[in-house]
Chain A
Amino acid sequence: MADILTLDGLTKAYPGVVANDAVSFGIAEGSTHALLGENGAGKSTLVKMIYGLVRPDAGTMRLAGAPHAPHSPKEARAAGVGMVFQHFSLFDALDVAENITLGMDTPPPRSELAQRIREVSRAYGLPLEPARIVGTLSAGERQRVEIVRCLLQSPRLLIMDEPTSVLTPQEVRLLFDTLEKLSDEGTAILYISHKLEEIRALCDHATILRGGRVVATCTPADHSAAELAEMMVGARLTAPARIARDPGDAVLTLDGVALPATHAFGTALHDVSLTLRAGEVMGIGGVAGNGQDELLAVIAGERRAAAGRVTLAGRDITRDGPDARRRAGLLTAPEERLGHAAAPAMSLTENALLTAHERKGLARHGFIRWRATRDFARAVIAAFDVRTPGPGQAAQALSGGNLQKFVIGREILQAPVVLAVNQPTWGVDASAAAAIRQALLDLASDGAGVIVISQDLDELTEVSDTFAALNAGRLSAPRPMRGLTMEEIGLMLGGVRGEAA
């Protein structure tokens, strides 16, 4: 079949880095084409050029035979390119219809638009209520808003950037049905994802980028996920392994913990109970915004439970603050690397001090022991292969993966009794993610209790011994990971405690 979009020698350089270096490939009409690559491989720069957000330095694009050189997203949309963003393209305080209007160039009047939204959402199996405020929607519903926004303009090429990373398995299936329907109708789809199994199931072709260049083009179904990953990374990968170990005594228990929501779009925790044993890795899954941040905050002591009890190795720590909990051996690493886990403008040495001063004795009589602190930061950098010129570097100068290795390593080297982490490998490339998971497993093998809160189910199946799901601030009863099917996990994520989703 004819190509709807052809890229020829696209090049884009930013100061100090060539994001795309002579990228050429074609997307056939009605096909689903995967774009694969690690973070920083140049995927987002490439789609931004197609969508008119960035202008190429060299090279040409042709869309349906005509030259395609959009100066703005508006021109790209007019030419028939639609894009569903992974982050930051919806407005929380506005309603569904308003959000959709904003992405259209000639929006119809509101009543007519509401009608058309209902029509399109029915035709493609994407239920949506036009008057709902977007801030109150689930991640899956938010994505539907974005998709409907694109579909109302009848695009010939639909770009999907990491569409499934925040969806439950059931929502993923719904999305795939929609995408298959679209490609049957002749819409080409450019699909960006790091979930290789999905790409193997969904996509007809794949183009793999590494360091801004096309390194391979293939049919994903012909290769295993591991082979695809190795093409992306350009090196062999080993799956994390661990030494099996019988779980020991309970080290952390939460008993009926409740926490009110702090802001309008926040989530309250209701009656959360769990028991974590020494040597156990508990995976807590859930779609973003179901109470993950709140759960970590109540474990860390950043916020005190409004009801219920938290005990660490038999001691009641419900009313203890973060420092007291750290001293007792309960360490945490929150999701947001810059601004929560690390202070962006401060050096790695200073950041090491911030969480390790209690357990490592880095401050004495109110004075900082700089030499010891620097040594500790160096130890983290060495032990976790953090690529940085040295401990004097500011946290914000590190790439996401390197900073994440530092943040997790900083806690692990303090020999925690319990370590709780939220989204430990979010936005981290494959090799760094593997290193972080391995470190968490090693920690558990050494007898610590580990809680991994994550939206990445592949990650949770890989590391967890037990699995629990967070839904609307409630935690399901933990179940052994071994033997759980994706179907059961999906039901746990969607409607807790065996209720139908």
Chain B
Amino acid sequence: MDLSVISPTLLVASLMVASTPLLLAALGELVVEKAGVLNLGVEGMMIVGAIGGFAIAVETGSPVAGFVAAAVAGAALASVFGVLTQFLLANQVATGLATTLFGLGISSLMGQSYSGIRPPATPRLDLGPLGDLPFVGRVVFGHDWVVYFSLLLTFAVWWFLNRSRAGLTLRAVGENHAAAHALGIKVVAIRMAAIAFGGACAGLGGAYLSLVRVPQWTEGMTSGAGWIALAIVVFASWRAGRVLLGAYLFGGVTVLQLNLQAAGVALPVEYLSMSPYLITIAVLVLMSARRRGAAAAPASLGQSFHASQ
């Protein structure tokens, strides 16, 4: 075993890359759940974003166009979920599961002619002399724009939920939709907007996988990232800062265990592979156990709303 092959610089840099898709998807789901909607279709929306973004990026040669297309594709699939659950009052859990299965299916149909192609590269942002600093230059200033965008989005979501009037209205809808309706807040419109935002974020996360992280299209390439994003939202007690922590923790342990595998650590590979899941859940459970985590859940989460109630 030779741990010296693990470069801390590369480790931290790739940690951020590995965590970004999770962070994007989890932030989107955070807003959706804060509005009182449980969308279990994150995995499906991610993979539709992954293939949608990949296809458009390949056809246009522009990764930015790809990311935009991924957000649109994710939001479109989310809107289907939204119409079913908000207008037709379908059960959110069942519809969410169906959204995931549908997304996995349609993505492999769409992606048949895109296997084995390399997408156009998403370049690192050139931050001039900052990028030449030792360690910090590579770790902090050596990423593509999506990484910075996701960090900015974390802050924006936090600010929106905790400081803005619109965010307060959205939380109110998630806490007590009947009371919000009685005050004249348009519950369904707000939920539809939140669902579309969540879909767009999940789509971006998926596209980051297929355009930057891997970068290639393979069927089922999200391999459970959407479910991890869902779990992170819950264990992060519905707080943006903790979502960031959870996503980076999971990404970090994933990268670390891959490096350990490469370095030939004397642990069976299976244990290393399961370690990110175990460690992330253990840490977040410990954190939410200190305060009463259940109280943080939006009180109307997962309940259908109809104005006649």
Contacts and interface: CB of A to CB of B under 8 A. Distances in A.
A82 to B, nearest CB: 12
Contact of B178 (A52, A73, A88, A98): A88
B183 A89 contact: yes
Contacts of B101: none
Interface string A242-277: 000000000000000000000111000000000000
A92 B183 contact: no
A354 interface: no
A92 B299 contact: yes
A414 interface: no
Interface residues on A, range: 20 to 34
Contact of A103 (B175, B178, B183): B183
B179 A91 contact: yes
A73 to B, nearest CB: 4
Contacts, number: 58
A1 B152 CA distance: 60
B184 A92 contact: no
Contact of B168 (A52, A73, A77, A101): A101
B176 A74 contact: no
B285 interface: no
B301 to A, nearest CB: 11
A264 B184 contact: no
B179 A52 contact: no
Nearest to B168: A98
B171 interface: yes
B175 A91 contact: yes
A361 to B, nearest CB: 38
A93 B295 CA distance: 8
A73 B176 contact: no
A409 B294 CA distance: 37
Contacts of A90: 176, 179
Interface residues on B, range: 20 to 34
A73 B182 contact: yes
A94 B180 CA distance: 13
Contact of B176 (A53, A77, A88, A98): A88
B175 A94 contact: yes
Interface string B158-174: 00000001001101100
Contacts of B182: 53, 73, 85, 88-89
B153 interface: no
Nearest to A103: B183
Nearest to B178: A88
A72 interface: yes
A363 B179 CA distance: 43
B175 A73 contact: no
Main secondary structure of the interface of B (DSSP, over half): helix
A77 B185 CA distance: 13
Nearest to A107: B165
B165 A101 contact: yes
B303 to A, nearest CB: 13
A102 B172 contact: yes
Given A264-B292, A264-B294, A102 B183 contact: yes
B294 A92 contact: no
A61 to B, nearest CB: 17
A384 B292 CA distance: 44
A490 B179 CA distance: 30
Given A91-B176, A101-B168, A263 B295 contact: yes
B228 to A, nearest CB: 26
Nearest to A264: B295
Contact of A92 (B175, B178, B185, B292): B175
A467 B175 CA distance: 36
Contacts of B175: 91-94
Contacts of B183: 73, 89, 102-103
Contacts of B179: 85, 88-91
A210 B15 CA distance: 69
A264 to B, nearest CB: 4
Contacts of A103: 183
Nearest to B295: A264
A94 B171 contact: yes
A81 B105 CA distance: 53
Interface string A51-71: 011000000000000000000
Interface in A117-175: none
B199 to A, nearest CB: 25
A252 B303 CA distance: 40
B292 A52 contact: no
Contacts of B295: 93, 263-265
A94 B172 contact: yes
A90 B183 CA distance: 10
A74 B171 CA distance: 19
Chain A CB within 10 Å — which of B165, B182, B185, B292 has the most? B182
Nearest to B171: A94
A93 B239 CA distance: 14
A107 B178 CA distance: 21
B168 A102 contact: yes
8 tightest Cβ-Cβ pairs between the two chains A and B: A73-B184, A264-B295, A91-B175, A89-B179, A88-B178, A74-B184, A72-B184, A88-B179
9 contacts: A53-B181, A89-B183, A91-B175, A92-B175, A98-B168, A102-B180, A103-B183, A263-B295, A264-B295
